Amino acid sequence: MKRNLFTADHEQYRETVRAFMEREVVPHYEKWEADKFTPRDLYLKAAEQGIYGLSIPEEFGGSGETDYRYRVVVHEEVYRVHAMSLAVAFGLQDDIVLQYLLHLCTPEQKQRWLPRFATGEMIGAIGMTEPGAGSDLKGLRTTAVQDGDDWVLNGQKTFISCGISADLVIVAARTDPNGGSRSLSLFAVEAGMPGFERGRKLDKLGLASQDTSELYFDNVRVPANNVIGEIGRGMGHMMAHLPSERLGVYTGAVASAKAIFDVTRKYCSDRMAFGQPIADFQHVRFELAEIATEIDVAEAYLDKSVLAFNAGELTAVDAAKGKWWTSELQLRVIDRCLQLHGGYGFMNEYAVARAYKDARIQTIYGGTTAIMKEIIGRDLAGQR
């Protein structure tokens, strides 16, 4: 089925992204994975080429391009070279951190931070998850108490993507001890603030070169001009930006599934067994047919979601549907593709083995599959 999502401009941009990946990522990616770290200068190079940060307005050094189809192109090209750690890192900046800065920051805050994001000098992170609170944002225990013109922050965060390399962390903290829907607020904590410490770099199952860490806040004094959005509206701010985060997750899920399917289809054509390519066996053909069909169907929903997001019409419920379905599909596709590779699929030198480990987080972060179904179910119950 012909895909009609992209224009000639998007395809021209794809050539730029693909050349960047082949030049700056492919020769080095295995070393980054072994070292469990992505060098900071890659962000500088990527920003210079417009690989991320396109939505930053021109006045702050960006291009002001808000068409999400360009983000889809980046996802597809990063996953085409099987660099999921990098896809997650870039997605964190574009689909999450920058969305908060662009839509919630004051003009003065934008002037302080956006130019450095536009050049790749500043890396961001989101500090929401805590040891005892993941999907349950109401369970957050990090506190912020006002003291004069400052807010004093105390608490701990965990599983923070880019936590080691981040220069700015948007931290969710409780500002009303009595709880309720207006008990949370958002604060920009900057590297070097006294009392802000980074814990260990966490040893994960996958995404080796994408740093993830614990963060600690011990009486960190955050000036009032580092409040993001409005005090007491943190929960609403976070809920409003979940569709863009989840769209990023399922854009990557579909791109990953497609990339692994493509290498598997080639493998099945090349791999000989019993005197013929294994793709000539009916069982293998049926497996490939089922996978191809599922990816095409998921891609159709993704394309519809992208156009809805561009129009400002992608709802939290629709994003939840796409997130849980495609991330679960991604796991199924990669698992079946690994099986088709046989013993070679278990070898780390094969892309399918690395993808098997990297993709496992997809049904967990950004809201678990169970939470996505709860969001959808509550919406359906409310329609009765």
Measured CA angle at 232 (ends 226, 236), to 5 deg? 100
- C-beta separation of 221 from 193 below 8 A: yes
> For residue 146, what are the β-bridge partners?
151
d(CA 319, CA 245): 9
Q: What are phi and psi of 146, to 5 degrees?
A: -75, 135
Name the 3-class secondary structure at 107: helix
Q: Is 245 a catalytic residue?
A: yes
Q: What are the CA-CA distances from residue 254 to residues 111, 291, 294, 322 (Å)? A: 35, 12, 10, 10
d(CA 262, CA 267): 9
d(CA 163, CA 165): 6
Torsion of Cα atoms, 190 then 192 then 196 then 197, to 10°? 120
Report residue 111 as tokens.
């002037």
Q: Check 33, 77, 130, 245 and give the catalytic one.
A: 245
Q: What are the CA-CA distances from residue 147 to residues 4, 223, 228 (Å)? A: 55, 10, 17
| Tokens 């006294």 belong to residue | 194
Neighbours of 7 (CB within 10 A): 11
Among residues 94, 247, 106, 87, the alpha carbon closest in space to that of 188 is found at 106
Length of the chain measured in residues: 384
Q: Which amino acid is at 37?
A: F
Residue 366's Cα: distance from chain center in Å?
8
List the catalytic residues: 245
